[in-house]
Every structure is written in structure tokens, then in C-alpha cells.
Chain A
Amino acid sequence: MKLASLGFACAVLVAGATPSSAQGLVPAAGLSIVSTRVRGTDQLTGTVLGGQGSVALGRIGPEGANGAGQDLVEGVALLGVRPASWLRLAVGPHARSYTLTGGTPLRWVFWELRARASSAFVGSAGRGYVELWRALSASVNVPEPFDHAQGGEAGMVVHLARAPLELRLGYRIDHAVLGGGSRLETVDAVVIGVGLSGR
């Protein structure tokens, strides 16, 4: 796999906040480097810089070629609840925009329902998480009608003992089906991030 281009952009500070066991809201912020690959009618890959809260800016290009990079903009806004300390349920829009090789911009807007479970598995510093989501509805500027979309992310977060920082390593994937399977769009990425920890 060759990264056609590397995109860098300032990450947006997280607009969200994580609830902390009945002690109020603990602000959190994060910065991630995401290696993204889009497989659909085109196969694009690249690295973007993102912030927690899922606002990502960057450039992607054709996989295995030296073509010019394409802009990728992706953002998620979620409103969630935490019914248990290990479980978070959230809903919100997920927008993604990138340009195909032929210059056609492709814009997605999903309304997603997400469920995220996390638990410490290496002492209290290392937490693993698994998140699954499914699109409740979607809007995309392609002729094929939207069929369904779902995705997931799994990885781990390591809290540093001597600093209010956490390191994140994960893998996420989105898979959308349009036109009864005539068009498949898959976006997967490896996420390496660092964030502020409120604990």
C-alpha cells in the first residue's frame, strides 16, 4: 500500500465531553493520525489528522498510484448517554466528503446509532474498547439508492500514569451498501491518537 499523499490540518478541539461517574463533565480533547483507505468505485488511501469528536481534515489519493491527492473531510457529532460505566450509546450525524479520481465529489451524510463498550484489561491503565454503529438513514450524491451502512471500531487506550494523557490505537471500518449491493463503499483506518485524560 502506498500513501499517495499526506494531509495535515489543525485538529479541532473536541466539542464533546465525557461523563465521569456522577462527578460532572470532564472535558477531553484528542488528536489522532488516521491512515484511511476508501474502497468503492475508487481505491483511495492516505493519512489524515483528526480530533476526537470526529472532525478530520486531510487528503487521500489513488492507492498504488502517484496521482494527485484528493481532499477528505469527515466529521461526526454525537449525543450520547452512558447507561453503565462500561457502555455508551450515542446518536448523531456523520458526514464524509472526498473526491473521486475523475473529479466527482462524493458527499455522505449518515445518521448513526452507536454503541461503545469499554473496560480496563491491563490493570487500570489499559482499557480496551469496541464500538459498533449502524446508519439509521443516509444521504449520498450517487444515483444508486442507499441500502444500509454499518461499521465498527476496536482498539485500546492507555492512560499515562504521570501525565493527564492517554494514547489510543485502534482500527475502524465503515461499510455502506447502495443499490442492492451494486455499489459498495468501505472506509477503514488505523487510528493512532493522543488525548487529554480527565481521570
Chain B
Amino acid sequence: MRQHIAWIGLLVGGWSAAAAQGAAQAIASPFAEGIRAYQNLDFDQAAALLRRDLARASGSTATLSERAQGFLYLGAADLFRGRRDSAVAVFRRLVQLDPRYRPDRLVFPPEVTSVFDNVRVEARAVVLVAPADTEISSGSGAFTFWVVASAFQTVEVTLRYQDGAPFRALYAGPMGDSLRVQWDGLDAAGQMPPVTGELAGIVQLPLDLRAVHIDTLPWPKPPADSQFLPERAGSRPALRALLGGVLLAGTVTALPSVVGSDHPNGSRLVVAGAVGFAGALGYVLHRPGRPLTANIATNQAVRARWQQSVAAVKAENVQRRDDVHLAVHAGEATAIKPSAR
């Protein structure tokens, strides 16, 4: 029960909000004066004001919705003035302006909506709704746009060069209110399906195509010299061993004299000889120019890592060169009269 009450409350709230929004729009509309005259049943005055305001209105002063509303009130006013032909003409312009537009059946009586519906079916107007800028991958991606029609009809969607020559038929056949069309960005040769019936109109949508190449990556810089370890032994460790051994052996030999003893032990010479031999052995083991295998292996690992990163960048660049994107910029759609075939 509580849920029921809550649901009803929302419904009423939505209704009130919609009504308030409609009133506010009517007052703020550039056609408010004519609409107010229509609501006061002064249809002659309403028609005059709305016709004047519609002649002045442009894309910058009135939105598409406001202009559509102005046309609807003008057609309704003409209809109630007994000028049905004029009303039909106004409704036709309304349908061509916005095929999706539908009159509010709570505001306008069936006399108006039935005439409008007849015009909408007969007018068979379409508009194209396309994103301003699209970037797709040729073949795998798709440039998508919508064809919106005022009523059921047969349409033909063809991509043409700027001089009008066709190069790709995207769709030919019947459609209802709207039709989603995709173009994979590829030029394909093919026969266009035969179009039967009278061509009611052509809408041109200029597409500015541009091939976009993704920048390739720069190669990684080779390792700096500071990252490499010396691969050959220098002379310093060898000289250090040799001179250290000599110095230490001399110290052992001279130690009794240093401490003031006058009876040196000959065994110290054995120690001095061993130390000197160790120094000489160290010189041989650390001789200058000796290859340092551990450093060589470390340097090879550094070079291998760099070569791997270069190979990875090369592979990525090959992929980027092959991956050409197609940038599509949709311009302003224009309706043109079909020429006799």
C-alpha cells in the first residue's frame, strides 16, 4: 500500500513538473506573444505574430525546438482560421525542419493533430544525425550516424564525392522512424540496388575525410658509458698488490729495528718472504689487461636489455605504421531537390 502511494505521488509530481516546464518554455519562447494570442483564441493575431516572429527567427535566436513549436502554433492558428492549405504548408515545413517532432496531444485538439499526421506521412522528410568528429580504424571501426524519418518510407543512403559521384552505397530500402547506418571507412565498388518510386528528396551530409597516421615511437637511447663496467682490469690492483707486498715484507723485516731490538729473529724473513710472495701472486692474478668475466657478463646483460627494448619498439612501430586511422568530420547537412534521372 505504501508503495502504491509513493508511485502515485511520483506520477503527480512528474505531471506537475512537466506542466510547469511547458508553461515556462512558452513564456520564455521568442514566439510567446503569438502563442499567448493563440491561447486567447485570437487566431488572426496569433498567425500574424507567429509568422512575423518565424520570419525573424534564425538558428541563433531560436532553438530548433522553439521554431518547431512556433510552426505548430502557426499551423494550428491557420487551421482554425479556415485556411487549411496554408496550415498544411506550415506543417510540411515543420516536418522538414524536424521529422521527429510530434504535437502534444493534450494541448492540441484532434483536428490539428490529424492534419499534422497526414502531412507528416505525406511529406516523408528525413534528417541525418551524425557526430561532429569521429576517428575510426579503416575496416574494423565504423562511422555511425542516424537517419531519422518523419514516417515510413524508402530511403537510399549513399556516400558521394564532392562532385556528386557515388562511391559507396550504404543502405537502400525501407525505414521506419529511424535507421542506424554504419560506414566502415572503406571504398567499395558495387552495384547500387534499384530504387523504385519517386525520389522525394536528397539530404547531403559533407564528410571531411583525413587519414591519420599514429606517430612512431623513438628508439630507446643506448646505455650510457657510465652504465658499463670495465671489461679489462686496470693496473691499479696489480700495482697495489705488488707494492703492498713489498712494503709489508719490508715492514716485517724492519720491525725489530723499529722497536729497538738488536737480536732479530731470522724467522721473520720467512714471514716477509711469504708476504712478498703473496704480493707477487696478487700482481699475477690482477695483472693489467686481464679480462673481467663478471663485468663482461654484466655488460652483455645491459646490451641485451637495450636490444630487446629496441626490438619491442620496432615491432610497435611496424604496427603503428600499418594502423591508419580515418578521421571523419561531419559538416552541416543540406537538403537539395532531386534532379530528374
Which residue in chain B gives the minimum CB-CB distance to A125? B282
Q: Which residues of A contact B6 (CB under 8 A)?
A: none
Known: A128-B275, A158-B278, A171-B271. A119 touches B259 (CB 8 A): no
A174 at the interface (CB under 8 A from B): yes
Tell me whether A188 and B261 are in contact in the complex, defined as CB-CB below 8 angstroms, given that A119-B244, A154-B255 are known contacts.
yes
Complex-state Cα separation, A130 to B275, whole angstroms: 12
- How far is it, in angstroms, between the C-alpha of A158 and the C-alpha of B256 when the chains are bound? 24
In the assembled complex, A175 has its CB within 8 A of some CB on chain B = yes
B241 x A171 contact (CB < 8 A): no
Choose from B247, B267, B285 the contact partner of A171 (Cβ within 8 Å): B267
B15 to chain A: closest CB distance in Å? 81
Q: How large is the interface on A (under 10, 10 to 19, 20 to 34, 35 or more residues)?
A: 20 to 34
Cβ of B314 under 8 Å from chain A: no
Please report the C-alpha to C-alpha distance between residue A62 and residue B237 in the assembled complex, in whole angstroms: 45
A169 vs B249: C-alpha distance when bound (angstroms):
12
Min CB gap A131→B, angstroms: 10
Residues on B with C-beta less than 8 A from A119 are 244
Residue A123 at the B interface, CB < 8 A? yes
Q: Which residues of B contact A130 (CB under 8 A)?
A: 248, 251
In the assembled complex, how far is the CB of residue B146 from the closest CB belonging to chain A, in whole angstroms?
74
**Please, what's the 1-or-0 string for B248-278, where 1 marks a CB less than 8 Å from any CB in chain A?**
1001100110111111111110111011001
Q: How many A-B contacts are there with CB distance less than 8 Å?
A: 100
In the complex, the answer to whether A152 meets B258 with C-beta atoms within 8 Å is: yes
Q: Are A152 and B255 in contact (CB under 8 A)?
A: yes
Residues of B within 8 A of A153 (CB): 255
Provide the bound-state CA to CA distance between A126 and B244, in Å.
10
How far is B249's CA from A170's CA once the two chains are assembled, in angstroms?
A: 10
Give the interface centre of A150, A154, A169, A190 by most chain B CB atoms within 10 Å.
A154
Quick check: A123 and B255 within 8 Å, CB to CB?
no
A178 located at the interface, meaning its Cβ lies under 8 Å from any Cβ of chain B in the complex: no
Which residues of the partner chain A approach B272 to less than 8 Å between Cβ atoms? 171
Q: Does A121 sit at the interface, judged by CB under 8 A?
A: yes
C-alpha spacing A122/B241, complex, angstroms: 5
Bound-complex Cα distance A1 to B269 (A) = 14
Alpha-carbon distance between A28 and B25 when the two chains are bound, in angstroms: 94
Q: Is the Cβ of A132 less than 8 Å from the Cβ of B258?
A: yes
**Is A39 within 8 A of B282, CB to CB?**
no
A171 touches B282 (CB 8 A): no
Task: From A122, A155, A188, A190, give the contact of B256 (CB < 8 A).
Answer: A188
Residues of B within 8 A of A155 (CB): 248, 252, 271, 275
Closest CB in chain A relative to B86 CB, distance in Å: 101
A171/B268 in contact, CB under 8 A: yes
Q: Quote the shortest CB–CB distance from B36 to chain A (angstroms).
A: 92
Q: For B256, what are the chain A residues with a Cβ–Cβ distance below 8 Å?
A: 173, 175, 188
Give the nearest-CB partner of B245 in chain A. A121
Q: Is the CB of A156 within 8 A of B278?
A: yes
Given A126-B278, A186-B261, answer yes or no on A156-B267 (Cβ-Cβ < 8 Å).
Answer: no
CB pairs A–B below 8 angstroms (15 shown): A1-B266, A35-B267, A121-B243, A122-B279, A123-B282, A123-B285, A152-B259, A155-B252, A156-B278, A171-B271, A172-B255, A175-B260, A188-B256, A188-B261, A188-B268
The interface of chain B, by Cβ under 8 A from chain A, is 237, 240-241, 243-245, 247-248, 251-252, 255-256, 258-268, 270-272, 274-275, 278-279, 281-282, 285-286
- Residues in chain A within 8 A of chain B (CB atoms): 1, 35, 37, 39, 119, 121-123, 126, 128, 130, 132, 150-156, 158, 169-175, 177, 184, 186, 188, 190
8 smallest CB-CB distances across A and B, nearest first, come from: A121-B244, A122-B282, A128-B248, A171-B271, A171-B268, A175-B261, A154-B251, A154-B252
